[in-house]
């Protein structure tokens, strides 16, 4: 006799979970509306009903912002190691391997040369799907090289931030990247080319405390969470109730922390105007 459990053609195996429409429909994180994945993709992952901005992959950001979606990648060969031999029940190397498979990236940031409306730029984008966009020594090295190469080639810099902060598996080596990237940015200032920072949801921790809010122009998405420690951590530490909307884009703009909130549909045209005004010449 067969050892397989009984099944029906319609149901399959009794313990097998079916998810009809998985990947076809998505629920809006703002209003709860059910949207087709295709319609959401066509609108750059912005809800047509309430305007909620859902997270977007680096590949989609390239398609949205860069001419032809093209990026001449720099420093992809610089890959993370395991300097502390960190193990919290799963080795750091195992976590890195899993992150590479899940995200399709070699680290939590991609950098390179691109064009925005014909203007050459040094471009970077954090990869949140790679360990929460956390900044380790290689992320810091790539961002540092981004500013260094932009300095050598006299290119404006456009850097998209989305991160949970410093990577705990690298300890103090991760925290050192804050000073390292800011020092590279300081040297970049000598060529008098614009640095435009774009903060996505979320931009937190050591990344928020380093390059994220140091742009000549700081642009943000609607309702993005931006800050060092999260609201829940602050409330529990200070034992106080924070103002409504604390650390969200609109709160930061009202308190002079960022320059402008830009919906995705207007992001490329806004970057083009800013680059033209601040000296990002066409190729």
Coil, strand or helix at 202: strand
When divided into structural domains, the chain yields a total of 2
Q: How far apart are CA 162 and CA 200, in angstroms?
A: 5
105 and 32 housed in the same domain: no
Whole-number average pLDDT of the chain: 91
State the pLDDT at residue 16. 46
**163 and 254 within one domain:** yes
β-pair partners for 110 = 125
For residues 106 and 202, membership in a common domain is answered with yes
Give the domain range for residue 266.
Answer: 55-278
User: Domain holding 225: CATH number?
Assistant: 3.90.226.10
Q: Is the pLDDT of residue 4 over 80?
A: no
One domain for residues 32 and 138: no
Q: Is 24 found in the same domain as 80?
A: no
Residue 1 is assigned to a structural domain of this protein: no
Do 146 and 42 share a domain, yes or no? no
* Helix ranges (DSSP H) in 49-170: 58-65, 92-103, 137-153
Pairing relationship of beta strands 217-220 and 260-261 according to DSSP bridges: parallel
Same domain, 195 and 205: yes
In 208-235, which positions are buried (b, 16+ CB within 10 angstroms) versus exposed (e)?
A: bbbbbbbbbbbbbbbbbbbbebbbeebe
Task: Please count the residues of the chain.
Answer: 283
Q: pLDDT band for position 279 (50/70/90)? A: confident
pLDDT value at position 165? 95
In the three-class reduction of DSSP (H, G, I as helix; E, B as strand; rest coil), residue 261 is classed as strand
In a domain, 11, yes or no: no
**pLDDT number for residue 3:** 43
Environment class of 197 (CB within 10 Å of its CB; exposed 0-12, middle 13-18, buried 19+)? buried
Q: How far apart are CA 212 and CA 252, in angstroms?
A: 13
Is 128 within the bounds of a domain?
yes
Domain identity same for 35 and 138? no
* Predicted confidence (pLDDT) per residue in 51-67, tens digit: 999 999 999 999 999 99
Q: What is the pLDDT of residues 253-269, one digit of tens each?
A: 999 999 999 999 999 99
Q: In sequence order, what are the residues at sequence separation of 6 or more whose Cβ sits closer than 8 angstroms to the Cβ of residue 125?
A: 58, 61, 62, 109, 110, 111, 159, 160, 162
pLDDT digits (tens, 9 = 90+) for 73-127: 999 999 999 989 999 999 999 999 999 999 999 999 999 999 999 999 999 999 9
Looking at the structure, do residues 225 and 110 belong to the same domain, yes or no? yes
Q: Is residue 190 part of a domain?
A: yes
- Residue 8, pLDDT > 90, answer no
Using 50, 70 and 90 to split pLDDT, how confident is the model at 231?
confident
Q: How many helices (H) and strands (E) does the chain have?
A: 9, 10
- pLDDT value of residue 230: 84
Pair (30, 94) in one structural domain: no
């Amino acid at each position: 006799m067969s050892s397989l459990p009984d099944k029906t053609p319609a149901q399959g195996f009794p313990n097998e979970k079916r998810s009809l429409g998985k990947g076809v429909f998505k629920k809006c994180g703002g209003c709860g509306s059910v949207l087709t994945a295709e319609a959401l993709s066509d609108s750059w992952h912005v809800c047509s009903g309430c305007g909620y901005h859902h997270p977007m992959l680096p590949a989609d950001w390239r398609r949205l912002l860069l001419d032809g979606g093209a990026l001449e990648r720099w420093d992809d060969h610089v890959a993370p190691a395991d300097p502390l031999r960190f193990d919290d029940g799963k080795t750091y190397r195992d976590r890195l391997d899993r992150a590479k498979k899940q995200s399709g990236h070699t680290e939590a940031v991609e950098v390179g040369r691109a064009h925005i409306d014909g203007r050459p730029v040094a471009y970077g984008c954090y990869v949140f799907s790679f360990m929460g966009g956390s900044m380790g020594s290689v992320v810091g090295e790539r961002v540092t090289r981004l500013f260094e190469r932009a300095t050598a080639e006299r290119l404006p810099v456009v850097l998209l931030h989305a991160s949970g902060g410093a990577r705990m598996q690298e300890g103090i080596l991760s925290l050192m990247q804050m000073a390292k990237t800011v020092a590279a940015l300081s040297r970049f200032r000598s060529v008098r080319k614009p640095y435009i920072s774009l903060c996505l949801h979320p931009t937190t921790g050591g990344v928020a405390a380093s390059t994220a809010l140091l742009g000549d122009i700081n642009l943000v998405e609607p309702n993005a969470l931006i800050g060092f420690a999260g609201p829940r951590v602050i409330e529990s530490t200070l034992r106080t109730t924070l103002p409504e909307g604390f650390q969200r884009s609109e709160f930061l703009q009202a308190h002079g922390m960022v320059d402008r909130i830009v919906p995705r549909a207007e992001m490329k045209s806004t970057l083009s105007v800013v680059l033209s005004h601040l000296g990002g010449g066409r190729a």
